[in-house]
């Protein structure tokens, strides 16, 4: 009982997967004209990249973008604030930016937890893992 209590206290709730339409097709940015980089790179998660893209590039409202990413509006605002602060930090301090990680589910891609792979399904009727043929997939719409 005590162990359960302690574990429950220290463990953060697992984050729900945020849906993203497309990952960036490059891995990051480097500042120009500095001799030595500061050593600290700013890491932007894929969900943060997606939040910034939906809001400031595709000019959606936060509520619309939140629905598309399958998260609540307050959560969206939190992610959006976080990415803006990270970008400001990189700009001011002249550090590089790297896109990495996050709790995301790519649209139109599927995951097999057994084989630890992600894959596309060219034939929608065939709903199984290409390797182990298991139909137990994580489905991203």
Give 72 or 118: the residue with its C-beta nearer to other proteins. 118
Give 39 or 122: the residue with its C-beta nearer to other proteins. 122
Min CB(82)–other proteins separation in Å: 25
Q: Which residues bind other proteins (CB under 8 A)?
A: 22, 25, 109, 111, 115-123, 130-133
87-115 as b/e: b if 16+ CB within 10 A: beebeeeebbbebeebebbbeeebbbeee
What angle (nearest 5°) sits at the alpha carbon of residue 121, between those of residues 15 and 17? 5
Q: How far apart, in whole angstroms, are the C-alpha atoms of residue 65 and residue 58?
A: 9
Min CB(119)–other proteins separation in Å: 4
Min CB(130)–other proteins separation in Å: 6
């Amino acid at each position: 009982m005590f162990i359960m209590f302690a574990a429950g206290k220290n463990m953060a709730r697992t984050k729900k997967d945020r849906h993203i339409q497309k990952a960036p097709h490059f891995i990051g940015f480097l500042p120009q004209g500095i001799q030595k980089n500061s050593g600290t790179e700013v890491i932007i998660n894929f969900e943060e990249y997606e939040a910034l893209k939906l809001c400031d590039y595709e000019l959606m409202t936060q509520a619309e973008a939140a629905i598309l990413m399958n998260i609540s509006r307050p959560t969206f605002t939190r992610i959006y604030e976080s990415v803006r602060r990270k970008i400001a930090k990189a700009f001011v301090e002249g550090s590089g930016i790297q896109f990495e990680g996050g709790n995301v589910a790519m649209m139109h891609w599927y995951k097999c937890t057994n084989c630890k792979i992600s894959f596309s399904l060219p034939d929608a009727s065939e709903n199984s893992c290409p390797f182990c043929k298991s139909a137990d997939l994580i489905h991203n719409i």
